Amino acid sequence: MTKFVKHRDLLFSTLAEINSLIIAGNDKKIIIERLLDCSLTVLDAERVHLLELSEAGIVRYTKSRNLGSVSDLKIQTIEDTANLRNWVMKEGDESRNYQKGEELAFDVPALADQYLEDVSANRTIISAPLVAKRSMFGLLLAIHRDDGTIYTAEDINLITVLANHAAIAVENALLYQKLEKDAITDGLTSVYNYRYLISSLEAETKRARRFKQSFSFVMLDVDNLKSYNDERGHIGGSQALKEIASLVVDNCREIDLVCKYGGDEFGILLPQTGIEGATKVTRRVLRAVARHRFNNENPGLLTCSAGISAFPRDGQTVSDLISAADKALYQAKRSGKNMVLTTEDLIEELTE
């Protein structure tokens, strides 16, 4: 009985399961782990790796087997060097033609020993590239157990099937993640969109109510954007909004959520933060905008005004909190702009 026939049911069930995981929107990690589990068995391997190439670096996913026990998935970002990338690309590009009596596994170079964890000379290794849309973005590798057995042409075919499916699975998983991100992200500014803001406010309201905590919400509006657009065009105005969004994110805390609320308005959710803390963060944001050189011109060309509300004092619902912050923002605009106004009527005009 050939290895393919022996493991055919497992192979086909794994491919079907991975298709289901993709459709269900499961993340890349779950999909890769299932592929490596299958690879361990159908290739009778001691260890399997998936090396993923990306702009951020090289990520190694590893599953291994020892005395019948399969390890947990290990994920590690490894040193990204030109030599390593060249080796990965070379292994992915090389074609291996099987001739009876010849060993298919390639000689393991020093790089493999360094990056694939204790690959001794008496072990054999085979690989197949992960290629999607004619672009290689990874390598699937199987390291055989140290029992004198060599890989065969059938093993090459199996790892190629698995690598091809891995490429499609990973590509689809990344596409799904991108679609998910696009659904909650503002296309112009790359911050979260109105839909995500409302759902986050609803979730935070429930959480704060349950644990009897407070949080603040900021409505921020760009001052004089219309006149800026009239003088520099809508392209210039769009660029200014991108820069403002970046300034807001950079001057908020990691726990704060920055979203696009409307045309030139932003909403900021500050979890577990009272009015005083929210005012401090908002003043820092407004100062950063006022000092920024838009279009390489003098600072102060564009500024922002802001209104702040707090849960539970200013409202028990999302709509009440937004309404309260909006009223404070409106008053800040009327009072001279480039100001922070809270629902406690604490108005502070920013100074240089």
Residues tagged active-site: 264
CB neighbours of 55 closer than 8 A, spacing ≥ 6?
none
Asked whether the beta carbons of 308 and 283 are under 8 A apart, the reply is no
- Burial status of residue 307 (CB atoms within 10 A of its CB: 0-12, 13-18, 19 or more): buried
**CB 84: neighbour CB atoms within 10 A?**
18
Asked whether the beta carbons of 240 and 294 are under 8 A apart, the reply is yes
| Measured distance CA(301)–CA(243) in Å, rounded | 13
The helix (run of H) or strand (run of E) holding residue 69 is: strand 69-70
* Residue 291 DSSP class: H
Coil vs helix vs strand at 274:
coil
Counting Cα atoms < 13 Å in the Cβ hemisphere of 58 gives 23
